[in-house]
Structure 1
């Protein structure tokens, strides 16, 4: 029986080096499927994350629409199940109040759904998941955080108004409130902008969504993913003007969530930025 042929070693190549080279090449070959599995796993998790965000937003919208429809109709003595052709005419004031109530209740339902979902999944660690606990120390010095809270609204106003001018949109110019809004309605609207919307949106995006995205693509990827979702959720009749105007704020909110390890600084910056921008655009010339 003839012995199997063995490829000769190149001149001067030690046997150990050849064996090590073969092992390394086999290691690279075996790592490739793992990398592909990790990439596809991350894509799958991000897809589930987008579906979850859409589900939360859709459920909150449906609940708010149903609540306002039934609640306002019963308050006005209208059967909420009347067909459209038999419903009485609603005035402009009533329609404006209903529209605002839908927006406000949507944020309340959204916050409740996110909190309830986190509590249902992890009854012991839901605060940590949403960055609402105080077990970990704040990763940012109070002086630096205070400076950011003071300086950022100015930068935010400059960016939003500049973006509006660039796209020819009107949301960054001098605007006026609806004449149908009473003083109480205006106060409630400001509370909605400065408190309700920041709390609900930060719970969803920099809370639940950030935790899921960080598990899939790491902290930097989580900052980018949540910023893109935040911007995309604000697409409106102005096209890309609003998403582009809000993208820097979304990136800073994600960075603040990662840097401090808590959600409250982002909620404060979000609310303060909203209030400063609204005050600027409503300020009489």
Structure 2
């Protein structure tokens, strides 16, 4: 006996019939289900951030260790007892090289994931091309870029005083750094780190957070992640000093709908702090 097509509806037709009967309104989800979905999305946001950071860090350490060992004629698979002792300068250079490679890998992982999920629209997903946004007048953006580094330095100085941390001028680079190492460290601190952090936080993670949060929620969640990733053992001064910067970067991402202003402000802030620290004290 053939089934009656008017009785046995498919799931899609059944949903359509239900929506038609209720005037087109979709059934509301219970508060418990909404809370569970929000919690699941928040956990996914945190795990995605940690995965990118850890994967890049582990890969960078392995590549630098193996590569440096080969260049220096050391067996990378030798036991610690058979490995020759490294000079402090060599250890510092390896650390700088690992930091630089880690930032490059973060950008590569984020862009690769965006291309895999969005194809040719990956630039829009990372806000490298304009996306829907309230907008920000160029004059206001320029004023923020000009004034923010001074405000940021004042906040960092105040934070250091509150937490009794050393932060002052005429600070020199490590004497273990060669000229090449110093240039590499400056490039890492001023350019590479801000670019990688912005591509990850205000690019990929802000877009992901915006799927289930309102703008202020995306700003706060990505700011919290950014701050927590800078926690140092035994001190909370550094993450506290970054709270205003994190909030401003998130606000810029929302208002402009672009990642470039965030990168520019982050680079400019880091440059201002480094210049303040390294500027020679008056005689």
TM, length-normalised to structure 2: 0.86
The structural deviation recorded for 1:134 is 3.8
Deviations 1:17-56 (A, max 9, x none): xxxxxxxxxxxxxx98523322221111010110010000
Alignment of 1:153-168 (within 5 A): 153-168=149-164
Residue of structure 1 equivalent to 2:8 = none
**Distance across 2 between alignment mates of 1:137 and 1:247:** 23
Counterpart among 71, 90, 99 of residue 67 in structure 2: 71
Residue of structure 2 equivalent to 1:203 = 199
Assess if the C-alpha contact under 8 Å between 1:164 and 1:172 holds in 2.
no
**Distance across 2 between alignment mates of 1:136 and 1:227:** 21
Residue of structure 2 equivalent to 1:149 = 145
The answer to whether residue 260 in structure 2 is matched with residue 240 in structure 1 is: no
Assess if the C-alpha contact under 8 Å between 1:138 and 1:262 holds in 2.
no
- What is the alpha-carbon root mean square deviation over aligned residues? 1.9
Counterpart among 37, 44, 47 of residue 40 in structure 2: 44
Residues 224, 73 of structure 1: alpha-carbon distance in 2 compared, 3 angstrom cutoff: same
The structural deviation recorded for 1:143 is 1.7
**Distance across 2 between alignment mates of 1:221 and 1:129:** 18
Residue of structure 2 equivalent to 1:122 = 118
Secondary structure class of the residue paired with 1:39: helix
- Any unmatched runs of 5+ in structure 1? 1-30
How many pairs does the alignment contain? 256
Secondary structure class of the residue paired with 1:216: coil
Assess if the C-alpha contact under 8 Å between 1:234 and 1:242 holds in 2.
yes
Residues 264, 238 of structure 1: alpha-carbon distance in 2 compared, 3 angstrom cutoff: farther
Deviations 1:43-100 (A, max 9, x none): 1101011001000000000110011001111111111111001000100100010011
Residues 268, 262 of structure 1: alpha-carbon distance in 2 compared, 3 angstrom cutoff: same
Counterpart among 76, 79, 89 of residue 80 in structure 1: 76
- Any unmatched runs of 5+ in structure 2? 1-26
**4+ aligned runs moved over 4 Å, structure 1:** 135-138, 171-174
Residue of structure 1 equivalent to 2:225 = 229
The answer to whether residue 178 in structure 2 is matched with residue 178 in structure 1 is: no
Assess if the C-alpha contact under 8 Å between 1:68 and 1:102 holds in 2.
yes
Residues 265, 175 of structure 1: alpha-carbon distance in 2 compared, 3 angstrom cutoff: same
Deviations 1:180-230 (A, max 9, x none): 112222222111112111111011110111011111111110000000000
The answer to whether residue 252 in structure 2 is matched with residue 256 in structure 1 is: yes
**Distance across 2 between alignment mates of 1:110 and 1:135:** 23
Residue of structure 1 equivalent to 2:31 = 35
Residues 45, 159 of structure 1: alpha-carbon distance in 2 compared, 3 angstrom cutoff: same
Residue of structure 2 equivalent to 1:92 = 88
**Distance across 1 between alignment mates of 2:271 and 2:141:** 18
